[in-house]
Amino acid sequence: MDPTPARPLPGTGYAVHPVGLDGSVFGWVAGPEDAADALSGFVDAGGDLISTADHYAGGRSEIMIGNWLRGRSDRDRLVIATKIGRHPDAPGLTRASILAAVDASLVRLQTDRIDVLSFDGDDRRSPLEERLAAFDELERAGKVGALGLSGYEPDRVRELAAAADGAGPRVLLGEYSLMQRAPEDGLLPLAHAAGLAFLARLPLASGYLSGRYRSRAELPESPMFAAASTHIGRRGTRVLAALDEIAAEHGTTSGVVALAWVLSRPAVSCAIVRARNGAELLGVLPAVPLVLGRAELVRLDAASA
C-alpha cells in the first residue's frame, strides 16, 4: 500500500493514518484469531491508531489487543487509545476510579502507557477539577498522553477546557456518518475553532452504509450492529441510492464512498472503523485515496439531509 500522509492530532504530538481501528468488536463478534488478523492487517496497511474502551466485552477487547501488542517492536509508532468510566470494577470518573481504571487498562493492554485516554461519558457526580487533577497525576507519572472526551456536549467540553486552564482535552470522539450528522451542529465546529482533534466513530453507521442491511428482512446477525436497523427507511434508502450511484462511477463499494465522505470533512482527524477480521478492514481502506468531487459531496449531503 502506498504511504498515506498522516493527519495531525492537534496539541497531542501525534499524527495518524486517516483510518483508525475500532476494537469494540473484539471479544464479541471477533475472537482472538480474528482480532489479531485485523490488527496485523491494519498495521501492515499503514494504520497506527487503535481505539478501544475498558468496558468493551468486559475488558476482553483490551486483553486481545494487549496479547497482540506484547513483544511487538513497533509499539512506539502506534497510538493506543482507550476510554474509561464504564467498567463495573472502576465506574465513574472520581479520582479513585480513574486511577484504578488506568492501572487495570495498562495491565490488560500490556503496555506502559495509554497514548490517548478518554473519559467515557460525563459523570456528573465527580467535579471537573477532580477529573483533571487525576489525569494530571497520571500524566506526570508517564502513564497517559493526551486527554480525550467521549459523549460530552459542547458546553461541557468548554467547561472542562476552562477548568483545565489551557491543559485540557485535546481529542473529541463522537458518532459521525451520513446517517448521524449531529456533530456538525456542535462538536465539529468546536473542534475546528479550538484546534482539537475529532475522531469519528461508527462512520459506516453500524454497517448500514455498507449496504449490507437494506430491509427489515436483512437484520444484523449480532446485537453489536443492531443500530443499523434504525436507519432503514426513506432517508436511509435515499442515502444508499446516492452511495450506490457514486460507488458505481468510481468502481468501488458504497461503504468506501461513505467513509470517504467522512474523511472529506475538514475537522475530522481520523475515522475509526470496526473490522471483524483483516479482509473486512482491507475492504474499506480504499476510501483513504478516494477523492470525491464537489458535485458528489453535494449529492450525498442532500441525500442525508
> Pick the catalytic residue: 56, 152, 176, 213?
56
Write the CB contacts of 301 (distance below 8 Å, at least 6 apart in sequence): none
Write the single-letter amino acid at 91: P
34 vs 162: CA distance, rounded Å: 43
Q: Strand 197-201 and strand 171-175: pairing?
A: parallel
| Greatest alpha-carbon span in the chain | 54
Inter-residue long-range contacts of 167-171, CB under 8 Å, 24+ positions, other chains counted: 167/132, 167/136, 168/132, 169/196, 170/9, 170/10, 170/11, 170/12, 170/146, 170/196, 170/197, 171/9, 171/12, 171/81, 171/116, 171/118, 171/146, 171/147, 171/196, 171/197, 171/198, 171/199
Write the single-letter amino acid at 136: D
Q: Strand 171-175 and strand 144-150: pairing?
A: parallel
Q: Is 9 helix (H, G, I), strand (E, B) or coil?
A: strand
Using a 10 angstrom Cβ sphere, with 0-12 exposed, 13-18 middle and 19 or more buried, the burial of residue 45 is middle
Q: Is 22 helix (H, G, I), strand (E, B) or coil?
A: strand
Give per-residue burial for 131-145: e unless 16+ CB within 10 Å, then b: bbebbeebbeeebbb
Catalytic, 56? Answer: yes
204 vs 121: CA distance, rounded Å: 22
Beta strands in 25-64 (DSSP E): 49-51
Indicate which residues carry an active-site annotation: 56
